[in-house]
Chain A
Amino acid sequence: QVQLKETGPGLVQPTQTLSITCTVSGFSLTSYYMQWVRQTPGKGLEWMGFIRSGGSTEYNSEFKSRLSISRDTSKNQVFLKMNSLKTEDTGVYYCARDQGLGAYYFDYWGQGVMVTVSS
């Protein structure tokens, strides 16, 4: 069955870089777009960006300058890296499967990883 699971550091210091891995099973990354969404106390649910089945990426302009999404199809993993973290980046980060090739809604989500930005 389809499963997604995020793993990440939990605590990150301000100005540092966040790295989260999303490991998927039950489907191929070469057949689906993969999305990243976060949920923060200040802004609620926010779309961050996605990686297409072919490997190209698109980012929310709000994060574009400091966000990078990549993948390793051999390991069934998608990666999020965001630099210059601020306390306002504290929240839960989700990876989600796009229902189709650019359907832009999400039929499977990981359980999320809580990230706290604090010194």
Chain B
Amino acid sequence: DTVLTQSPALAVSPGERVTISCRASESVSTLMHWYQQKPGQQPKLLIYLASNLESGVPARFSGSGSGTDFTLTIDPVEADDTATYYCQQSWNDLTFGSGTKLEIK
């Protein structure tokens, strides 16, 4: 299985820029996607195919990367962005990262 590694937690202040990283154990080309999950809710698609913004998602969210290293950027961060962010690859079966919990100070 392709293992996706994410840092467990981040804390930033409103208005700042935050980058959330995801590293794959092997190359997944650009078959990487990002979700936001708020407590008690289902995941929500933010970015697909590494850098494409899902319809209806604010342009504050962006994605980049290819191969093994990927980044989700939120700029500027807002209080409502408090959530856990997951990456998911679709190159080799489908696997998810363990999530990065974002706290807004």
Chain A residues near B (Cβ < 8 Å): 35, 44-47, 60-61, 94, 99, 103-107, 109-112
Q: Which residues of B contact A104 (CB under 8 A)?
A: 31, 90, 94
Distance between A113 CB and nearest chain B CB, rounded to angstroms: 11
The number of chain B residues touching the other chain, given as a range, is 20 to 34
Q: Is the interface of B mostly helix, strand, loop or mixed?
A: loop
Q: Which residues of A contact B95 (CB under 8 A)?
A: 47
Beta-carbon contact of B96 and A109 below 8 Å: no
Q: Which of B11-39 contact A (CB under 8 A)?
A: 31, 33, 35
Q: Whose C-beta in chain B lies nearest to the C-beta of A99?
A: B48
Can you list 10 A-B pairs with a CB-CB distance of less than 8 A? Answer: A47-B94, A47-B95, A99-B45, A103-B90, A104-B31, A104-B90, A105-B33, A105-B48, A105-B88, A111-B42
Specify which chain A residues have a CB less than 8 angstroms from the CB of B31 in the assembled complex: 104
Task: Return the chain B residue nearest A100 by Cβ.
Answer: B48
Cα–Cα distance between A76 and B27 once the two chains are bound (Å) = 37
Query: A103 to chain B: which residues have CB within 8 Å?
Result: 48, 90
8 A Cβ contacts from B33-71 to A: 33, 35, 41-45, 48-49, 54
Complex interface: chain A residues within 8 A of B86 (CB):
44-45
Which of B43, B49, B98 has the largest count of A CB atoms less than 10 A from its CB? B43
Q: Which of B59-105 contact A (CB under 8 A)?
A: 86, 88, 90, 93-96, 98-99
